[in-house]
Structure 1
């Protein structure tokens, strides 16, 4: 069953760029354009309009998009029904960037060890974006920060890591009270628009602290580099693997702090891969218990 033309249409709609979609599918832009033209001839309507380097979906394309996604899900279910493992292949997993250094390698190793014939693609994004990708069926599961609201009952959530809010500071400043440092040193902000970054706001408001802010970015690893360069201090979830921080950066616990980021995995109950995710989180819980 050749579904490449429908898959191409959906990917272009999600990327908003024919060049990016062609890169992800490992085909030439010319081949991708030919597939779209074939679909437009089949349905008798234009599906995209060009806007510079990007494309915008037309009204006819928008009407087709949700049905195309539903068609993809049905095809995957058909493949799963006849697969010896019960999985159709082409697993799509979303992940926040900071999970790439801790939970994602363990998850991919489990898949490779127990399902060697199953290929997977990891899409990187912010937690709020990944949440909508899971609920919208664009990815099969996502490793993200626990949403600050109740998830629908038709989805499963499993916490894998609890990462307390900590202070990153140059090692020369260790031994100084964290609140004193926050009052005196420039603050390097973990993007407050992210669910993990909002924890810093909660801490500062609870302690009635108004630090002098310098830079703001959505990258704990980038913040580590800035702290090492002596540009300030930062409030971030403790998402770092032991031994990975440079010697010039210290992780300082916050006294009387209960704020933490919960990193876990979200997937729909009806997922074709439901059994895989259940065994995956059980194995990762076992590994975490053994490590402690």
Structure 2
């Protein structure tokens, strides 16, 4: 029995679409249809009911699904355990938040390339909310984002936290020493994307202190927030590891603000039905690399 046909069966069952499966497997819709037809002929059953609008598992297809998942999982684990690094091929779609891109993600990518030199990475950088949507639509294999994904057949593991502080350009007229939030309120505030936990934390900080910020602008790019702060256009909240280089170079100044902001809690999530062995291995690597961030 062709393992690729079983994998195709699992993706069609998961996505309920031949065209979406073709996109996910980087092949054509005709190839997907031919694989399913060949598998149905070999098994002597009909796996899917098809019409112009949808694809649905038949009762026989639902009965076959768990067995197919187990076979594919065991095959992946066997391949991962005994294959040479150069023999493992394919694509791994990874989604990551901007905060880890500017901290430990480059080290993770270097390690993945060294460990699996023939695995191609597809990287998407976006907000946690958007990445969660991509993950639930099976568009990415491994999500690195704020907060866990709680769902059936999903493995989630903590990757630690990223401490955050307020930063400003060295030329901005802010006093030395400890500052209260009222000292920041007169300046434009550059925060993370609207609706994200760090953005909510910023609004909650000002509200709890009884301080109204002049203006809170929202960005999904740490690089943009850093540039605007360096140019003296406002103050920004950044992961300390991401801002360290700019502080050392004298382009940014770390502000001692009370109360401090909570850290960003980062998690990795991947599907365990079938368990993606490479995604699981990279999640462990991510946990190890994140642990090296002070």
Interval containing the TM-score (normalised by the shorter chain): 0.5 to 0.7
Q: Which residue of 2 aligns with 1:159?
A: 159
Distance in 2, matches of 1:90 and 1:211, equals 45
Higher RCO (Cα < 8 Å, 6 or more apart): 2
How far apart are 1:179 and its partner, in Å? 2.1
* Distance change in 2, residues 1:76/1:125 (3 Å): farther
Q: Which residue of 1 aligns with 2:188?
A: 186
Aligned equivalent of 2:51, options 45, 49, 72: 45
> What does the per-residue CA deviation read over 1:139-173, in whole Å, with 9 as the maximum and x for residues that have no partner?
332111125x9677953322233222x22222123
Higher deviation after alignment, 237-246 or 101-110: 237-246
Q: Is the 8 A contact 1:160 1:281 kept in 2?
A: no
Distance in 1, matches of 2:142 and 2:268, equals 7
How far apart are 1:231 and its partner, in Å? 2.4
Q: Does 1:107 align with 2:108?
A: yes
Higher deviation after alignment, 190-199 or 152-161: 152-161
Q: Which residue of 2 aligns with 1:213?
A: 215
Aligned equivalent of 1:77, options 73, 76, 81: 73
How far apart are 1:76 and its partner, in Å? 5.4
* Distance change in 2, residues 1:136/1:96 (3 Å): same
Q: Which residue of 1 aligns with 2:276?
A: 272
How far apart are 1:95 and its partner, in Å? 0.9
Structure 1 portions without partners, runs of 5+ = 47-57
1:243-254 map, 5 Å: 243-244=245-246, 247-254=250-257
Q: Is the 8 A contact 1:156 1:269 kept in 2?
A: no
Aligned length: 260
RMSD over aligned Cα atoms: 4.3
* Distance change in 2, residues 1:44/1:258 (3 Å): closer
Higher deviation after alignment, 102-111 or 2-11: 2-11
Structure 2 portions without partners, runs of 5+ = 38-47, 83-87
How far apart are 1:98 and its partner, in Å? 2.9
* Distance change in 2, residues 1:155/1:38 (3 Å): closer
Distance in 2, matches of 1:145 and 1:175, equals 33
TM-score normalised by structure 2 residue count? 0.66
SS state at 2:157 partner: strand
Distance in 1, matches of 2:141 and 2:33, equals 29
